[in-house]
Amino acid sequence: MHPGLHDAGRQAMQSLDTWLSQHNQDMQDALQHWPSVFTNISIISNWATPFHQDPHSQSNWYDMLVTVGNYEDCVLDIPTLGLQFLYNPGTVVAFSGQLLQHGVSAVGGN
């Protein structure tokens, strides 16, 4: 979403790895299992989400929502902007979850 932010995250992970190699081998080993420069991943499975804002995000960050599974006719609603999006598997949406209230409809499927 933001190449400079991604590069800064990658550089931070490399610096942390170097520091941990000298100070905390167990944590360095654990770091090898985190495959992302991003600090947070949330998974919501088979669940409608009522309208909300994300208080732990930052107003100038993009929160990326990615859908996977086997279902149809799901809707992502952003009432702050008066927008509704078809939110079927394979959809990727990025916006500030702290600034924009949003919710997702219930669906059947996996």
The pLDDT tens digits of the residues spanning 62-95 come to: 888 988 888 888 999 999 999 999 999 999 999 9
Claim to verify: residue 35 and residue 79 sit in the same structural domain: no
Domain assignment present for residue 109? The answer is: no
The structural domain count of the chain equals 2
Residues 65 and 82: their CA atoms lie apart, in Å, by 18
Q: Of 37, 94, 36, 22, give the one whose Cα is nearest residue 60.
A: 94
The answer to whether residues 64 and 89 belong to one domain is: yes
Q: 55 is in which domain, residue-wise? A: 49-104
Domain assignment present for 7: yes
In the predicted model, is pLDDT for residue 1 greater than 70? Answer: no
Average pLDDT, the chain: 88
Residues 59, 20 share a domain: no
In whole angstroms, give the CA distance from residue 60 to residue 7: 17
Question: Averaged over 22-45, what is the pLDDT?
Answer: 82
- Tell me, yes or no, whether 22 and 63 share the same domain: no
